[in-house]
Amino acid sequence: MQAEQGVDQVTDNEHENKRDRQIHLVHRADLRRPPLIAYSSLARWLLVGVLAASVWFFHDFLVPVLAATIIAFATWPLRVRLHDRVGLGRTLTGALLVLLIVLFLVIPIIIALGYAAREFREWLSWAIQINAVGGPPPDWLDTFPVIGSWLVEQWSQHIGRPGAIGELVQVTSGANIGTIYRGVLTASSMALHLALALIFMLITLFVLYRDGDRVAAQLDMMGERIVPGRWERLSRIIPRTISSTVTGMTLIAIGEGLILGVAYWLAGVPSPVTFGVITGFMALIPGGAPLSFTLISLYLVGSGSAGAGAALFIWGCVELFIVDKTIRPVLVGGPVKLPFLPTFFGLIGGVKTLGIVGLFVGPVLMALLVSIWREWAREIAAHPLPQSALPKVPLRENPPD
């Protein structure tokens, strides 16, 4: 009896040991089984999620950061000269450069835009008055050859009669002229938002001036991992393209707007500051500045100031020749070879997406796109594929007649 109990106990122990071995084998098999999500893929998606959350939280600061980055790229040679050759420290160099930008770029632009806003309010007041009671066409409209009578007819139809300007504004913009006027009067409520954006831009610019070389070194390491073998060329193209675009388009456009604005004032053009600002914006587009001063010269000739109109046109042509032949090559090292269509799309898309800052960000992004495209095309042309690597196209048999 005891022997039978001993045999049963041994049998039970064998079953338990066998079951334990099976459980252990199943556990080891589970350990060998690959996870549902690879660790590298999980880390990659986690990084994407963190980046997306960061962009969502800080999207309001995207425009100041982009503006600061573009200014830092464009003025980086000056930073290198102050830090390396003069021997100023990082913090002192950044503070001095930010102070120079505030004094010579930010403050003049703010003053010019303030004058332009006041002149624009006067235009709106005049438009509201004409919209209420109407008004005859100016005498100088009829003096234009060929199109003078047509201009007078268009004035009488779309501007001169009571309510015509309101109808025109309603058709083109969908807003009432009174609503636009009240919006302009209350536009000062946006001053706080613009001031905060300007402060964030200057802070970001100071940090880039102080630690930009360290950030560039880290970007080089990341870029070499992402685009191995090509990042070295791209890292040289990007700063040069941004610097050339900003210097060749933005700074020269500001200078042309300032010089031609003074010429408008000397020629007796009404609202010279507003027309100077418009000319500066138009100068960002190839051919925009000549179009601006040509139209204003025609206005002066038509209004009876033929001498002032001719002098303004000659001055504009001389200024344009000097800028294109002397100043632009010195600042840029040659003209910025950006086609008209990418420039135009960059301006329109930049303004639509980022507002006034997009006037400068949009062309820079399009210039980068064109430069990278040209670099890839140059690389493909320099290293064409051998004929053996090209896909074989089967010959077509001639169809029967």
My answer on whether 205 and 333 are in the same domain is: no
Is 160 part of any domain?
yes
My answer on whether 315 and 209 are in the same domain is: no
What pLDDT, on the 0 to 100 scale, is given for residue 95?
A: 92
Look at residues 277, 285, 284, 273 and name the one whose alpha carbon lies nearest to residue 257: 277
My answer on whether 173 and 72 are in the same domain is: yes
Looking at 207, 226, 245, the residue that finishes a domain is: 226
- Do residues 168 and 158 lie in contact, with contact meaning Cβ atoms separated by under 8 Å? yes
My answer on whether 255 and 310 are in the same domain is: yes
What pLDDT, on the 0 to 100 scale, is given for residue 226?
A: 77
What are the residue ranges in the chain where pLDDT is below 70? 1-41, 169-191, 329-338, 356, 385-401
Q: pLDDT tens across 341-399, in order?
A: 777 788 788 877 777 677 777 877 887 788 778 777 877 787 776 666 556 655 555 55
Looking at 163, 191, 226, the residue that finishes a domain is: 226
Is 25 part of any domain?
no
What pLDDT, on the 0 to 100 scale, is given for residue 31?
A: 46
Distance CA 254, CA 259 (A): 9
My answer on whether 370 and 237 are in the same domain is: yes
Helix, strand and coil content of the chain, in percent to the nearest 5, comes to 85, 0, 15
My answer on whether 203 and 307 are in the same domain is: no
Distance CA 116, CA 113 (A): 5
Is 3 part of any domain?
no
My answer on whether 246 and 218 are in the same domain is: no
Distance CA 100, CA 209 (A): 13
What pLDDT, on the 0 to 100 scale, is given for residue 294?
A: 92
My answer on whether 151 and 265 are in the same domain is: no
Is 35 part of any domain?
no
Is 39 part of any domain?
no
My answer on whether 178 and 277 are in the same domain is: no
My answer on whether 171 and 127 are in the same domain is: yes
My answer on whether 126 and 107 are in the same domain is: yes
Distance CA 288, CA 294 (A): 10
What pLDDT, on the 0 to 100 scale, is given for residue 7?
A: 46
Please count the structural domains in the chain.
2
Looking at 204, 226, 248, the residue that finishes a domain is: 226
What pLDDT, on the 0 to 100 scale, is given for residue 397?
A: 54
Whether this prediction's pTM lies above 0.85 is answered by no
My answer on whether 209 and 255 are in the same domain is: no
Is 262 part of any domain?
yes
Boundaries of domain holding 66: 59-226
Is 242 part of any domain?
yes
